[in-house]
A and B are shown apart, each in its own frame.
Chain A
């Protein structure tokens, strides 16, 4: 009788222990990585938020809900903010125009060499960011070939230059963040079923219309991801403006950098960081609305 009781409870206990382990297992796997992100990503953001509401001079700051830091920062650096958004917006649009046909070509014409072409597209970005940007300094230099050709065809005046202009900074940003545009575009185009395009061509009998009605809508999730992945780092960049421009091309990243590391006005720098993040968030939401989330999810579901 008692033997029967233990026999029936033993497997039950084993089951419950197994269930418990399964219940705890994901958290055990997660915790090292998540704790790292909590301590070194979330907590620092909280400190940055606190810093943005402090007043005082380095190294003595005190917390006193100084909301005016935000309005002061925005009114003092309005030009750099608007310039950042304009430069990164222009660079994102140009990068999309360059990348879409390239990603299309790899996805539909690459054949068995797809992976190799993809590697070719990413490869240049394994040269250190700063060295790549310095190479653009050489290419766009006043005695460089690009400027000489543009002067010869009178697109530039006799003493016109590219380096130290907005054009150079936008060109640098466009180039430096290109893989963030090409890769998501490629992924979404690669998933488009060629049979859908064939069917569309049979029905519409026009390649342009089948592209506009089938391929383009199906690739919109890639466009969406590519635009965000390019625009966000571009808006915070300060390297291109520093190396290819002059203080007249400085972006908000340059201001944050110098406020933090030279001027040491931490509260202003922290407030500027949050305004940058807020501006990016608002633009992303507007962009999501423009592109139509319904169409996006429908397109994602169709792939």
Chain B
């Protein structure tokens, strides 16, 4: 009886915790349908689909989102390629310097973003590199590499090398073995890493703020708007990014479950 009650207590607690996690998100989604009379979108004034039908009617929002998506796509592609190679080296080989490599992978994740942003700013100032799209891209690739390495490495550790040996025994060379055996097996890890990198990039504010020059990404646009008035169109884009990202993760989780069942 008491044990059953305690079980319930934990269930109820978890339910409340999940509600707490989703409360701000519910507010964001609800206010994307708000019809504010003035410039402020803080109080509920009435329901409308207008913001969803014309999200880019608010000046500057479209271009900012476009820059964010371009940077997220490019930086996640580059960081996934570089990070996957590093992960392969770390798991597959014993070599001098692997400990310092691990350290160099770990330190960026343990450094406050503001310090990374500030140090990159001083680098670009010293080298007289004008800030803009290129410097944002460089910064995003930099902070994404570590996360890609950690994600792909987790997948590689449980990898059965006998499968590669079998492929080589059957006459495939190293390149064919890599493309037909190794890559498909670690693909879920690579996919998860690139999704994570994409999400981190499109959400980044602090490092971008220090290195954007005059270019505006979506988070920078929100920051600028927060000083004057936040239009409901921002909630529309925020909700859309949320739906796409969670949808992508859901597909990845389901795909991995199906593979696990088949295996």
A residues adjacent to B (C-beta < 8 A):
22-23, 25-27, 29-30, 32-34, 36-38, 40-45, 47-48, 51, 98, 101-102, 104-106, 109, 115-116, 119-124, 126-132, 134-139, 141, 143, 175, 178, 207, 228, 232-233, 235-239, 243, 253, 256-257, 260-261, 266, 269-270, 273, 276-277, 280
Contact = CB atoms under 8 A, between A and B. Distances in A.
A43 B123 contact: yes
A283 to B, nearest CB: 12
The CB with the most chain A CB atoms within 10 A, among B22, B89, B125, B138, is that of: B89
Nearest to B92: A26
Interface residues of B, number: 84
Q: 8 shortest A-B CB distances, which residue pairs?
A: A236-B112, A135-B24, A44-B119, A33-B82, A26-B93, A29-B89, A126-B245, A44-B123
Contact of B85 (A32, A129, A232): A32
B118 A48 contact: yes
Given A30-B101, A32-B82, A51-B122, A130 B226 contact: yes
Contacts of B133: none
Contact of A128 (B11, B206, B219): B219
A161 B113 CA distance: 31
Given A38-B104, A124-B22, A126-B242, 7 more contacts: A23-B95, A48-B115, A101-B17, A116-B253, A120-B18, A130-B226, A236-B115
B242 A127 contact: yes
Interface of B: 3, 6-7, 10-11, 13-14, 17-18, 20-25, 27-28, 31, 42-43, 81-83, 85-86, 88-90, 92-93, 95, 98, 101, 104-105, 107-108, 110-116, 118-123, 125-126, 138-139, 141-142, 145-146, 149, 199, 202-203, 205-206, 209-210, 218-219, 222-223, 226, 230, 234-235, 238-239, 241-242, 245-246, 249-250, 253, 257
A121 B18 contact: yes
Contacts of B125: 266
Q: Tell me if A's interface is mostly helix, strand, loop or mixed.
A: helix
12 contacts: A26-B89, A29-B85, A41-B116, A104-B10, A105-B13, A109-B10, A124-B22, A126-B242, A127-B238, A128-B218, A236-B112, A270-B122
B199 A130 contact: no
A142 to B, nearest CB: 10
B92 A105 contact: no
Contact of A101 (B7, B14, B209): B14
| B interface SS class | helix
A74 B182 CA distance: 53
Nearest to A43: B123
B113 A233 contact: yes
A33 B84 CA distance: 9
Given A29-B89, A44-B119, A48-B118, A132 B28 contact: yes
A48 B123 CA distance: 8
A41 B142 contact: yes
Contacts of B13: 101-102, 105
Given A256-B118, A273-B119, A130 B245 contact: no
Contact of B246 (A40, A115, A119): A119
B88 A29 contact: yes
B122 A48 contact: yes
Contacts of B82: 32-33, 36
Contacts of B7: 109
A127 B241 contact: yes
B226 A253 contact: no
B85 A45 contact: no
A42 B90 CA distance: 20
